Structure 1
């Protein structure tokens, strides 16, 4: 039973070499996964699990390549220094960890305590229709929401690969199709799924790619750093 948990591979068109696809590897070992001797740059990464990393550099999404009961190895665009304490958010759980190694855009994180892999991979047990939501990045930027012939100027409170929370907006928007325009991102089509206190949750018709969102977050961090430096 656990074999299927250890390694999953999605079916792909026959003309594509199956070795070109990666999925997250899971190990029962307490050791932190180590970096590979050599990286292949032309691999397609459709099935790597995504988590949120929070540390001194703020929040960012990472792609987990290998996971054990003791830690993870992941793709990381902005790696915190070795020794930094961080938090990994995965399947609705927040796990304290520390950076133990960095190499060529990969990062090794050691959990402060060993984790129950079965519980972690399964996520929280469903209750009243609840399912663990994808990791969301808290942001504070402006956007425009187009609904039919109406345009709302809103603030984006958080964003994930599959949706975002915006406000202020009107309650009658629930169930409506919208187009969201955020600076430096392509227009995103979606649907308003919930409303509370003038804030709404929008689910995208098509998920953003990991690279697209990571690049956007990186640009925002760089811009914020430049503004801070200019003030001083």
Structure 2
């Protein structure tokens, strides 16, 4: 989701909603999906709402407590270590370990992964292990979903699927997704969804998947 980059004087994201208001500072209001790393191998989807040089206001359905250490991974792949300083019903204020240049950090960047065409950033990807089914032209085969984002997935399967083929991916707990095959090798296939998985749907699914592991 694109950044809404209007600059307004606002309180620091690290200031609690009911705290005393300090001197206003420049804060960028955004609506960017990102990855929230809670511990090695433990991840959640989040949205960045306010970003300043020293902190962020983050929305997440994952429960956090004050003094939790986290890492925010942006679409560019940049990783920002931080500490939770307050929580309030799905909103979290975090203090970054190091000051950032807000404009540079949030600027869309062209990225290119092996086997992929260049793109402006990428939706946050999450490592998962989930069975699924890929259907095309009246035929279907079982697959294993290895990673998942709002915009696509990497699958393990044995069948040969041609590039560009229209397919439907079904994963338990998510609505079936029409998609196209973007890349493949001997063991894996990368698919891009025609319509993005909504933030709410993927966030809820990831939370359920983490509880089941």
SS at match of 1:213: helix
**Deviation at 1:69?**
1.3
* Mapped pair 1:51 → 2:69: no
When the two structures are aligned, how many residues end up with a matched partner? 194
Q: Contact 2:86 / 2:93 at 8 angstroms: preserved in 1? A: yes
Q: Which of the numbers 109, 115, 118 marks the counterpart of 2:100?
A: 115
Q: Is the 8 A contact 1:26 1:66 kept in 2?
A: no
- Distance in 2, matches of 1:28 and 1:116, equals 17
TM-score normalised by L of structure 2:
0.81
Deviations 1:54-112 (A, max 9, x none): 11382111111111111111111113321121110112211111111111111111111
Instruction: Between 55-64 and 184-193, report the one with greater CA deviation.
Output: 55-64
2:59 alignment partner in structure 1: 75
1:64 and 2:34 aligned: no
Task: Name which of 74, 79, 87 aligns with 1:90.
Answer: 74
* Equivalent residue number for residue 170 of structure 2: 181
Tell me whether 1:220 sits opposite 2:209 in the alignment: yes
Q: Distance in 1 between matches of 2:74 and 2:190?
A: 20
- CA distance 1:86–1:161, change in 2 (3 Å): same
CA distance in structure 2 between the partners assigned to 1:5 and 1:173 by the alignment? 38
Superposed CA RMSD in Å reads 2.5
Q: Which runs of 5+ in 1 are unaligned?
A: 8-24, 38-46, 225-232
- The structure where strand makes up a greater share of residues is 2
In the alignment, structure 1 residue 141 sits paired with structure 2 residue 110 = no
Structure ranking higher on relative contact order (CA contacts 8 Å, 6+ apart) = 2
Partner of 1:199: 188
1:154-191 deviations in Å (ceiling 9; x for gaps)? 11111111111111244542100100110111111111
Sort the Cα spacing of 1:196 and 1:110 in 2 relative to 1 into closer, same or farther, 3 A.
Answer: farther
